[in-house]
Every structure is written in structure tokens, then in C-alpha cells.
Amino acid sequence: MRIGLNALLLSSGEGYRRTGVSRYIDELARHLPGALEADDALTLFASASSTLPDDPMISVRRAPAWADSPTARIAWEQIGLPMAARSRSLDVFHGTVNVLPRSLKTPGVVTIHDLAFLEWPEHLPWARQRYLASGVRDAARRARVVLTPSEATKADVVDKLGVEPERIMVTPLATRVRHRELGPQDWEVLQIRYGLTVPFILFVGTVEPRKNLARLVRAFDLIAGDVEHELLLAGPSGWSSQEFDRALAESSARFRIRRLGFVPDDHLEMLYQSAAVVAIPSISEGFGLPVLEAMAAGGAVVTSSTSSLPEVGGDGAHYVHPMSVEGIAQGLDRVIKDTDLNNRLRENGRRRAEAYSWENTARLTVAAYHRAVAGG
């Protein structure tokens, strides 16, 4: 079986593309070879600048350097990539981030990560929302197999795009993050690098509207007078941050709210575990990878009771309604002050995270390729 995989959004930088979908592509590229047969071949169609796994089963076709910008990347994805794919005589092509090239003739598999752009169109730049609304509908119609990271997203794809349930396979994500005991040197790294002097609440994610940061800031305001904690925001800038910026400027506790920017994986693992609470109050998530990462590291998670998040978190998280500032505040306050609950969340979360693995994701994905080659 000759497989092509769209790896154009695999990023080596520290911007918002280095999170979610980039991590998914990177882990697929690392783990698919272990799930393939010896005579299978995997081609990654990648950007000129990305760093790729070194594996004898993987060949790489890089886009030209001029295609690194978003607009040029989309143009090459739609025109240059199908031509490159034809030259490889592929049996199946995997669109890893929501779309398939429109002129692609190879049997297709597409991963639809979420449909937040349809439910909350105002949360995306206009041009990006229009591109996704058109491209995802087209890909869902043409793909022989549609992959989603959760049952919640599968239900959305059936409901909003009219895709037959039997054409959808759920391939949950996973994480490399693991719990380990932190030593004095680890605490020293955190204190020096991030200036930690008091307990903290940690948010991890891109700064964008559906991450609900404005309500998180307002919820922190409600409890700040009763706790000594800081609110640390780890993650790169995304788009449309006006409401968050306004909430931060108006916050009575703004001097105890700090943006850390992009945090490397090894530091993030330590921050998850060290936080009094990991707060992920997203309005909507297709999976919610930071929730799984935090549980795997041994963090005490407060997250939203909507979309895929209860499916991922199970009994390893405490749930709040994302539209209620008071509800988020009460959840944070309870998990900070109730030691038994805090410890129980950490224990349950670690156990639940062990059920997820990238090896399983790869096996399910290869099964989807076989289904697509066989005609769906």
C-alpha cells in the first residue's frame, strides 16, 4: 500500500501551529511506520522548513520554499500537491487537517478535528472561516473514510455535514507526557525560568476566542481576593484576542496574571504537575489535548462540561459550564481548597490517560487506509 500524508502543517516553530494539529501530524509520522506492513510505503508531503522523523519507511516530498506562508501553502496544497501525489502512484491519501485537495483523484481519508468554525464562525478570521466551511464540506463529501478524534466530533460531523455514520472512524489522540517525580533541580528550573514564587493556576492553549480566556480571567478576578495564586497562561498567540485583551486590561488582579508564551514540552510537563489547578474552560474542543496532557502529567484539571471534554476527561477532571464566569470561579476555588478532590483528580487522571496511546491511534488510522483502498 502506497500512502500519502499531508504534513504541510507540521511546524518546527513556536507559533500556534506548533500545538494541536502539528502535534497530531508529528505523532502520526512517528508511529505509522510501526503499524504498516513491510512492503507498505509512506510519503509525507511537507513544508520546506519542517523537521521530520527519520525512518526508512518514510519518503518526503517537500513543497517549495515560497509555499511557507498560509496563502501560498493553500495554493500549493490545492495545485502542486495533487500533481506530486500523482507522480507517486498513491493508493490512498490522508488529509490530516480537515481538507483534501479538490483535484485529488487518489482515494482519500480526511481527519476532521472539530466543527467549531460552523458553530462559532465569529471565533475565526472571516477568510479562514470561509475556507474551512467550503473545504471541509467538500472533503467530507469526497473522502471514502472520515476520521474524527472523538465521538462528540463524530456526532457533529453526522449532524452538521450529513456524513453517514458508517463512513466515520473515531481515532482518539494521545500524549507523550507522563508523570514523574520532580526533584529539586526541576523546581529550580521552573523558579528561574518562570519566576514562580507562589502557587498558580495554569491554562495551556492558543490565545483564541473559543479557548474562553476572557471568562477565565473574570473568574480568576472573583476568587483572587481569597487565594494567593497567580494565573499563568501558557501558549502562543493565535487570533481575535480583543475580548481577552479587554478582560485582562480591566482585571483587578491583572498583576497576578502572566502570559508565558510558547512553553517547551519538558517544561510544560513540569508545570502541569506543579499547578494547583490546570484550567481548560474551552467553549468547544474536538478532542482537548491539553486536558489529556495535564492528566497524564498528574495535574488536577478543571474543564468544560461541553463538546468532547467530558469524553476525554472522564472521572479525571472537574467540570464547569464554560459560559458561566461564576461557575468557572466556583470550580477553581473548590479544586484549590478541597485537598481530597484535588488528589483524587490527579490519581484518576493519570490512570485515565494511560488508556490513550499514539500506537493505537496509528493502528486505527492504518485500518482506515485499508477501508479506503477497499472502497470505503
Among 170, 175, 210, 154, residue whose Cα is nearest residue 23 = 175
Instruction: Specify the DSSP class assigned to residue 207.
Output: B
Dist. CA 298–CA 347, nearest whole Å: 7
Query: In this structure, are strands 92-95 and 145-148 parallel, antiparallel, or unpaired?
Result: unpaired
Label the pairing between strands 168-170 and 301-304: unpaired
Q: Which three cell numbers stand for residue 367?
A: 485500518
List, for residues 165-223, the tens digit of each pLDDT value: 999 999 999 999 988 888 888 888 888 999 998 999 999 998 888 999 999 999 999 99
Rounded alpha-carbon distances, angstroms, from residue 374 to 9, 92, 108, 204: 28, 10, 11, 40
Residue 267's pLDDT band (cuts 50, 70, 90): very high
Range of lowest pLDDT (142-151, 184-193, 248-257, 351-360): 184-193
pLDDT in the model for residue 14: 47
Q: What is the CATH number of domain 184-353?
A: 3.40.50.2000
Mean pLDDT, the chain, integer: 93
Give the mean pLDDT of 64-82: 91
Q: Is 3.40.50.2000 the CATH classification of the domain at 2-174+357-373?
A: yes
- 130 confidence band (pLDDT: 50, 70, 90): confident
As a whole number, mean pLDDT of residues 328-344 equals 98
DSSP string, 98-137: S---TT--S-EEEE----HHHH-GGGS-HHHHHHHHHHHH
In 3D, which of 224, 177, 178 has the Cα closest to residue 200?
224
User: 334-340 long-range contacts, Cβ below 8 Å, gap at least 24?
Assistant: 335/276, 335/277, 335/300, 335/302, 336/199, 336/201, 336/223, 336/227, 336/229, 336/276, 336/277
Q: What is the DSSP-derived secondary structure letter of residue 64?
A: P
The gap from C-alpha 332 to its chain's centroid, in whole angstroms, comes to 23
Range among 51-60, 184-193, 341-350 with highest mean pLDDT value: 341-350
| Whole-angstrom distance, CA of residue 113 vs CA of residue 11 | 17
Q: Residue 17: which pLDDT band, with cuts at 50, 70 and 90?
A: very low
Stretch (H or E) spanning 329 = helix 325-337
- Cell numbers for 89: 502512484
Rounded Cα–Cα distance for residues 373 and 25 (Å): 21
Sheet holding 58-62, edge to edge: 58-62, 41-46, 2-7, 92-95, 108-111, 145-148, 168-170
- How many percent of the chain have pLDDT more than 90? 77
Fold match between domain 2-174+357-373 and domain 184-353: yes
> Does the structure show a pLDDT above 50 at 315?
yes
CA distance 252 to 229: 14
Can you give the pLDDT at residue 12?
A: 56
The confidence score (pLDDT) of residue 15 equals 44
Asked whether the predicted pLDDT for residue 19 surpasses 80, the reply is no
| Sign of the four-CA dihedral 277, 282, 284, 286 | negative
Nearest residue to 7 via CA among 56, 17, 16, 204: 17
Q: Sorting pLDDT into bands at 50, 70 and 90, what band is 123?
A: low
pTM of the predicted protein model: 0.93
Among the residue ranges 55-59, 237-241, 252-256, the one predicted with the least confidence is: 237-241
Check if the beta carbon of residue 85 is closer than 8 Å to that of residue 44.
no
Q: Tell me the pLDDT band of 13, cut-offs 50, 70 and 90.
A: low
- Range in 89-98, 236-245, 298-307, 329-338 with the lowest mean pLDDT: 236-245
Q: Is the pLDDT of residue 11 over 50?
A: yes
Q: Please write the tens of the pLDDT for every residue from 248-261.
A: 999 999 999 999 99
Q: What is the pLDDT of residue 16?
A: 39
Domains of the chain, by residue range, sit at 2-174+357-373, 184-353
Query: What's the CA gap between 28 and 72, in Å, rounded?
Result: 24
CA 153 to chain centre: 13
Radius of gyration (C-alpha) of the chain in whole angstroms: 21
pLDDT score at 62: 94
pLDDT exceeds 90 at position 239: no
- Residue 307: which pLDDT band, with cuts at 50, 70 and 90? very high
Beta-carbon contacts of 250 under 8 Å, excluding residues fewer than 6 positions away, are: none
